[in-house]
Structure formats: C-alpha cells, structure tokens
Amino acid sequence: MSVLDDKERRIVGFLCNWCSYGGADTAGTARANQPTDLRIIRVPCSGRVNPLFILKALMNGADGVLVSGCHPRDCHYALGNFYARRRLETLKEFLPIIGINPERFHYTWVSASEGQRWQEVVTKFTDHIHKLGAAPKWSEVPALKDVKFDLVDAIRPLGCGTHPALAELKAEIKKALPDLHGVLGWRKGYDAIHAEPFLMQTEAEVDELIWGPFNVQNLANFLPKHAGKKIGVVVKGCDSKNVVELLVEKLIKREDVTIFGIGCNGTVDYKRILAKLPEDAVIESVVGGGSGVKVTASGKEYDMPMAEIAQDKCRLCVKPNAVISDVFLGKPTIEPECEDGRLPALRFLDTLTLEERMGFWKGQMEHCIRCYACRSACPQCVCRDFCVSDSRDPEWLTQEDSVEQKMFFQLIHAQHLAGRCTGCAECERACPMDIPVFALKQQFGRMIKKIFGYSAGLDLESMPPLLGYELEEANIKERDL
Amino acid sequence: MSTFFATPSALLGWLKSVSSDNRVVAPKKKGSVVLFKPWTTEELGACQDASELLIRSTMSAKEVVFPKCETLYELKATKDPSDLSKLHQELIVPNNATATVLFGARPCDARGFLCLDMPYLQGPVVDPYYKAHRDALVIVTQACSNALPTCFCNWIGSNPADEKGSDIIFTPIEGGFVLSALTEKGTALLAKGGFDAADDAKNTAVSEAQAKAKSQLPAESTLKDIPQKVYARFNDEAFWNKEIEKCLSCGACTFLCPTCQCFTMTDKGNQLDGKRMRSWDGCMASHFTLEASGHNPRPSRGMRYRNRLGHKFSYGRKDGDFSCVGCGRCIRSCPAHLDIRTVLSNACEGAQKKGEE
Ligand code: SF4
Ligand code: SF4
Ligand code: SF4
Ligand code: SF4
C-alpha cells in the first residue's frame, strides 16, 4: 500500500514529545494494529505547533493533518496546550474560507499511557480522511474568473463638507508642536483628490493639514518608525484602533504619542472616483458639501455622491470616532449599530462552495505580483524588515511564481494578524492588483469574535486572545472524531 | 514610410491568425486593473470589440522578457538501480522563450524594453535568458490618442507617438487603425495582415490624433542637468528622509515599473534535485541590500528611494537619456500617493551641480 497507488492518504501528524508521541509508542509496543498513512513529526509540545505548519502541509497537498498533545492541565510545560487549543481552534474555523474542508484537520489530546486511545484516534482519523478522499489540488481546481461584488449600502450617512473643527484642530496641533518631534497628518497630494501623509513640524506645515474624504492612509503605520520620539498623530476612527493595538502590543508607548481625533464621515475609494471620469481627465478642483463631492476635471463638473464613491469599510464602519484620543474636536459622528460588518468579498465567499472558494483564491492569486504592498501597508505588520516570508532559512516560501506560494504568503499575513487585525483594510487598499486580501483577515476576525467575543483595537487593557488562555474555554468544545 | 489601414475586425482577424504560431500578449481587464496577459486563438476569435485590447495597463509588459520568476537551470539526480551508490546527475537548462507578439504596448512601454536591454544585453555579459526572450519578441505599439494626468513621457525626451523600441506602431482613428512597420520583424508580421495602404485622409487623421495626445501632456520639464543635480543630493539624507516620509517602502512602484530590472536568485531543492530561480526584487525592499553580516547600507526608506530615483535619473545617465520612461504607473498605483515628478523636481531645485559647491 502506498500513497502513489492511491491506497493510502497523505496524513501529517504533529505529536508532542511527552504525551502523544509516548502514546503512539505505547500503542506500538503493545503491537496495536494501526493504519500506516500517518507521517509523524515529533514536536516538543503542542504549543510548538505553529498554525502555519498545518496550513503549509495542507497547501502542499496533505490530505489530512492531526495534532495531538497532552491533555489540558497535563502539559509537560504546564501551559503549552492551553495556548495551542486557542490557536488550533481558530485555525480550524478559518479553513473553510480558503476552500479547505475543516474536517481534514483535527486536534486532540492523548497521554503517554493511552496506547489504546491513540490507536482509536489514528484509526478513526485515517478512516475519516479516506472517506473524504484525496484533497483537491490548487493546480487542478478551476479558477473563478470575472468575479464582481455587489456594492453594500452604507449603514450611516456619509458626508464630505469641510469639517467645522478643522481650524480648531490646527490650533491644537500648533499648541502641542513645541513638545513634539512632529505630528502625522494629511495634506493635498499631486492633485485635488489625492491626499498624502506628511509629518508636520512647523506651523506653516500645520496650515497644510486637511481633513475629509481623501484622508485614506492609515497613519498609525508610521508610528513604530518614530518609536522613542514624542510624536503626534491625527486619526480617523479606524486608524485609532491601530494605535490602540500598537499600544496593547507595547510597540509604542502611550506617553510618547499624542492622539488628535475628529469624527469621520467616511473616505473614498479612488477606483470608484476614477471610474466616473474619462481616463485623461485632469482634476482641477474639488469641493465637498453635504453627502458628496463635486469634482471639476478638464473643465467639466462631476457630482459624486459618497454613497457611490465611499470605501467599503467606511460603509459599514461602526467606530467613526477615535476610540482613544488626547484631543478630540467637534461633534462626534453618530455611531451606528451594525451586526454584519462583512465586506463584499467575504459576503461573496460565504455564498460559495468549498471548491469554488479555492477557485476564487486561485483566480485572484494568479494576478498577485508579490510586491507585498499588502504587508507594508498594514500597521500591524510590525516585523517590517524581518518578515518570515523573506527568510531563506527556514524557507517558508520559495520564489516560484505559483498560486500556492502566493496564497501561502497571504495565509502567513492573515494568520499573523489573527486577533490583532483591526479591520482597517489598508492591505486591500494598497494592493495594486486589487485583490481582496482583507477577506482572509476578516474571516479570522469574525471567528475570533465568535470564539472569544473579542475585537482588536478597542480596549487598551485587553489581551489579544491568542496571547492568552483560559483553563476552561467557554466556546471551545472538545470534538469527537 | 508606407502606412496601412485596418478595420477593427480586420485587426482582430490578423491577431487571431498571428496567434496560431505566436503567443499574443495584450492588455486584459481584471476587475479594475488591467494586465498584459496572453490571449488564446479562441479568445481572440470570440472577441467582438477590439477596444478590449487597446486599454492602458496597470502593470507593465516587462514580464514577456523578464518573467516574475524564471528557472535558470534544474538539477536532476537518479540512482543507478543496479548500483545504488552510483548517482546519475543531469543539468537541465530550460528554454523558456516562446515566439511572442506583444500587442497594445504604449510608446513608453516599448521604450521600457530599451532600458531593460542596457543591463541585460549591453553590459559586459549578455544574459542568454533575456536575450532569448527578447529575440523572440515583436512589439506592436499603440500610439496614444490621449494622455493621462500622470503621464510625463515628454519629460524624458519621448512623445505619445514615439517609435523608438517598437517593431510596428499603430494609431486608432475613426473607423479603424493606421499601422506602419518600423523594423524587419515588424514588416514580416504586418505583411500577414494583407491590409490595404492607408490614404491621405487617414494619415491626416493620425497626425491629428497624435497632436491631441501631445497637447494633453504636462508642460515640458524645465529641469536641466538632472543627473548631476540628483547626484549632488546623494549625501543629503535629510532631503530624502523628508521627501520619502510618506512612503511605505512597499515596492509596488518597482514591480509595476517597465524599467525596474533588479532580481534576486534563490535555489530550491534537496541533496539530489533542485533548481535555481531568478525572480523580481527591488531597491524599495529592505532585504535587497541586506548583507550577510547583518549590515544594511540602505537602512531607511529615504535611502532606498534615493537609489530608485538615482538609478532612473542619475547614475550613469545623461540628460534626456533616463531609465524612466514617464509612464506614471508608479504614481497611479502608489498607496501613499507619492509622485516621482515632485521628488525629482524637488531634488533638482536648489541642488548644486557637482563641482559647483
Ligand atoms: S499587494 Fe496585492 S499584488 Fe502585492 S503581494 Fe499583496 S496581494 Fe499580491
Ligand atoms: S491585516 Fe489589513 S485590515 Fe488588518 S490591520 Fe493589517 S492592513 Fe489593516
Ligand atoms: S513610492 Fe509608493 S509604491 Fe513605491 S515603495 Fe513607496 S509607498 Fe510603495
Ligand atoms: S519610474 Fe515610474 S514613471 Fe518611470 S518608468 Fe518606472 S513606473 Fe514609469
């Protein structure tokens, strides 16, 4: 029997040295009959099992992955399996969005004395994988082409007028400037609609500050670059969540940052603006007012209601006001309630079968040029110049221009952001190929919410769930095979 | 020069017949972005509207000669079944080049290939992989009938009807296209179309279309001695750090750019089999200059962008002979909305010419 003649399946097992590996030994010594499909990799502890090991195995054609460690409260290192339980459960809930059947992955606990239990676990899991058959291959599923998402309606009115509090904000920044290295904000960029981030260091520069629908960039991204200096930052609601998350993760110090906020009325999606103009139109001026902007380009006027040009994330935003600030000016924007924060790509993915989802990502990843702008734009991608995907040893990724490699990079990003991603969607905005990579992070986000009732970036005192554990997890139930 | 006229359907018919023994690469829309992608004979046959192939591409066309990742060689080892201690090793150098017709490149794209030729063909070593792709390539360029606000080909000594680097150039006019061959390769390819000669009225329409595009370009650059002035900024770290404050160092600009030519080489394999690959890399990535010791001579975004601008406009360049073709892709797709024209102007303004300090 072998994998090659299709009688065996490829199953990868990660077994902890102290319990499950011992359990497998006990079963072996007792000459218990076991299927031979499982390839065992011995790890010191189930806590050592990086979820990326599992994803990598599944992406590279494993038909199933089994993780087994010491029973909870019985870990050789006391706590390793508590952490593992949270990560593994979150991963299992994540898998369907990339078209991988979550039943191909199982985690359980087997102690060194439980030879018989081991025999049962491995037999049942192998049987199960045999029933599921060979895993679909990325190279073989048909790519989904020409996908179009529906525009989602905004849950609150989005507006564009000149903000009445802008003058006050400038005054406050000028007051604070002498004590700061600078304040991060936006000014008019190369034309009237393109704003660019800048660091205000003089009063004249503060006068250049703008506030409105074109302030798309998330300036929290720049904060760690200034770590150690006293720095100010102007934030929209979404940006402020990244400031919180950076503080929670101790990447910047609270006493070093001064946070300036104004209620946000939504920002634009440039693709949507440009689609309304002839491609050679030269943008001359723009005035905001009420619920839209009037763009003058090549001598013609174009009315653009925010309902048509706003970014998707703004349409569903429930935190338009800075969740944390030292100076907050003007009237806060009304905070709507919204249960369903799914952006169009995730809504669309939810309607697909597993195989179609794999095809969806295949179709998208075919166009990825691997620039990693998605990573650089992410304020929470704090490894910056030391990203694991650039490492040659260990080699997580090869340079091959294949869907699997490019997809695996997205899985690295999404997995590393699990429980940390605030949903700012900058990764997706930055992608020059317009790939909806945020959907992967949003899937992790909603599963984290479901399991731990947690959303990142809201509370300075909080603990990202994957950095902690409970002895008894309220929403993680032990699964039988 | 003789010019020919083709109706949209005749043009598509020509491309379809060309596709039987060539890979036809042309713009293809994917959502809101446009890529240069192969069009199969079936796709070209099914295409009802030639304008689908005439759109401007988000991505440059450089992949046809400089793939994102290319296998340079493979090693294969097989054990001798009769004596397992013996290993039979084989070195395979793949032939990656295919006869390719690049259709719908713009004049800036075509000139981009001339910039790529510099390191790959005109250096001390001719790169055989690049040369094979390049020899197998015929470039059919569309003269631009309009210019985007981000276009600045006139700053680098070019124009929307520039013929440099193309094998065939065509201009869309009312009712069809006027084509002319510029090289031998182009003449041979164009002959397959069997098109009629274009009459005077049509040639006049071409001049009018080209004049319109020209009029839409920004004012001619008044910058002088660009290479020297950019170079004079070399040690002005404060300048670079301030200009580049907004940059994310994401590198999207380098990957979209038709002239960015840098690569990395990696090996994949085990003790028996393996391959060596060459793939895109760029100066905006921190690891690009990371040395084995851990030292990085370009540790900041400013220093990296200095290289990007310097390589395009200064190092070994003369005024008007730049390694940027003014396509504006890096402006259009930059998440930070950084405009290379602004950085260039600011670098030159107030900068001293070398030797004048
Ligand atoms: S930004 Fe887009 S194209 Fe670049 S690596 Fe990320 S997904 Fe790929
Ligand atoms: S992963 Fe994307 S949405 Fe999440 S914090 Fe990073 S950039 Fe924002
Ligand atoms: S200039 Fe723009 S596209 Fe280039 S690295 Fe910087 S942020 Fe990215
Ligand atoms: S540097 Fe920018 S404008 Fe110049 S050729 Fe490259 S992408 Fe085009």
Residue B132 backbone phi and psi in degrees, to 5: -60, -45
Together in a domain, A101 and A213: no
Residues with CB under 6 A from ligand 3: B 247-253, 284, 334-336, 338
- Which CATH number does the domain housing residue A120 bear? 3.40.50
Domain count, chain A: 3
What atom of ligand 3 comes closest to residue B336's alpha carbon?
A: 7
Residues with CB under 6 A from ligand 1: A 368-374, 430-431, 433, 435, 437
Q: Does the interface ipTM go beyond 0.95? A: no
**pLDDT of residue A96 exceeding 90:** yes
Together in a domain, A191 and A293: yes
Q: Does a structural domain hold residue A160? A: no
Domain that holds residue A392: 344-467
pLDDT of res. A157: 83
Percent of chain A with pLDDT over 70: 99
Tell me which DSSP letter residue A268 carries: B
Q: Does a structural domain hold residue A156? A: no
Together in a domain, A121 and A84: yes
Q: Are A306 and A158 in contact (CB under 8 A)?
A: yes
Range A107-135 average pLDDT: 96
Q: Does a structural domain hold residue A202? A: yes
Together in a domain, A33 and A60: yes
Cα distance between residue A451 and residue A85, in whole Å: 12
Together in a domain, A64 and A111: yes
Pairing type for strands A182-191 and A231-235 reads parallel
Q: Is B68 in contact with A195 (Cβ distance < 8 A)?
A: no
pLDDT of res. B31: 87
The count of other CB atoms within 10 Å of the CB of residue A167 is 11
Q: Does a structural domain hold residue A455? A: yes
For A149, which residue in chain B has the nearest alpha carbon? B31
Residues of A with CB under 8 A from a CB of B: 147-148, 189-191, 194-199, 217, 221-222, 271, 275, 279-283, 367, 369-373, 375-377, 384-385, 390, 392, 395, 398-401, 426, 429-430, 432-434
Q: Does a structural domain hold residue A198? A: yes
Q: Does a structural domain hold residue A289? A: yes
B64 touches A: beta carbon within 8 Å: no
The one-digit pLDDT tens for each residue of chain B (357 residues) are 789 999 999 999 999 999 999 999 999 999 889 999 999 999 999 999 999 999 999 999 999 999 999 999 999 999 888 998 888 989 999 999 999 999 999 999 999 999 999 999 999 999 999 999 999 999 999 999 899 999 999 999 899 999 999 999 999 999 999 999 999 999 999 999 999 999 999 999 999 988 888 888 888 888 889 999 999 999 999 999 999 999 999 999 999 999 999 999 999 988 789 999 999 999 999 999 999 899 999 999 999 999 999 999 999 898 878 999 999 999 999 999 999 999 999 999 876 544 444
Percent of chain A with pLDDT over 90: 90
Q: Does a structural domain hold residue A137? A: no
Which residues of chain B neighbour A280 with C-beta distances below 8 Å?
A: 146-149, 216
Q: Is A398 in contact with B252 (Cβ distance < 8 A)?
A: no
**pLDDT of residue A256 exceeding 70:** yes
Question: pLDDT tens, A264-299?
Answer: 999 999 999 999 999 999 999 999 878 899 999 999
Tell me which DSSP letter residue B293 carries: T
Q: Is B147 in contact with A280 (Cβ distance < 8 A)?
A: yes
Mutate to test the pocket of ligand 3, among B58, B60, B255, B284 (most ligand atoms within 8 A of CB): B284
Cβ-count burial A153-162 (b if 16+ within 10 Å, e if not)? ebbbebbbee
**pLDDT of residue A323 exceeding 90:** yes
CA distance from start to end of chain A:
24
Range A128-153 average pLDDT: 94
Question: pLDDT tens, A357-389?
Answer: 999 999 999 999 999 999 999 999 989 888 999
From A191, A280, A399, residue closest to B69, measured CB to CB: A399
Together in a domain, A307 and A447: no
Mutate to test the pocket of ligand 3, among B249, B281, B300 (most ligand atoms within 8 A of CB): B249
pLDDT of res. B352: 54
Together in a domain, A283 and A389: no
Nearest-CA residue for ligand 2 atom 6 is A378
Together in a domain, A266 and A375: no
Together in a domain, A325 and A348: no
pLDDT of res. B128: 96
Q: Does a structural domain hold residue A338? A: no
Q: Is A279 in contact with B56 (Cβ distance < 8 A)?
A: yes
Together in a domain, A323 and A174: yes
Together in a domain, A355 and A439: yes
- Which ligand ends up closest to the CA of B333? 3
Average pLDDT of chain A is 95
**B73 DSSP β-pair partners:** B276
B88 touches A: beta carbon within 8 Å: no
Predicted structure pTM score: 0.94
pLDDT of res. A245: 97
Nearest-CA residue for ligand 4 atom 1 is B324
The count of other CB atoms within 10 Å of the CB of residue A375 is 24
B78 touches A: beta carbon within 8 Å: no
Together in a domain, A57 and A86: yes
Q: Are B171 and B177 in contact (CB under 8 A)?
A: yes
Q: Give the confidence band of A161 by pLDDT, cuts at 50, 70, 90.
A: confident
Provide the shortest C-alpha distance from residue B73 to chain A (in Å): 13
Residue A367 backbone phi and psi in degrees, to 5: -95, -10
Hey, which residues 9-28 in chain B have their CB within 8 Å of chain A?
A: none
Mutate to test the pocket of ligand 3, among A376, A378, A385, A431 (most ligand atoms within 8 A of CB): A376
* Cα–ligand 3 centroid distance for A45 (angstroms): 42
B69 touches A: beta carbon within 8 Å: yes
**pLDDT of residue A2 exceeding 80:** no
pLDDT of res. B351: 64
Q: Is B35 in contact with A372 (Cβ distance < 8 A)?
A: no
Cα distance between residue A228 and residue B223, in whole Å: 39
Q: Is B68 in contact with A191 (Cβ distance < 8 A)?
A: no
pLDDT of res. B212: 86
Please give the full DSSP string across A439-475, using - where no structure is assigned: HHHHHHHHHHHHHH---TTS-TT---GGG---SS-TT
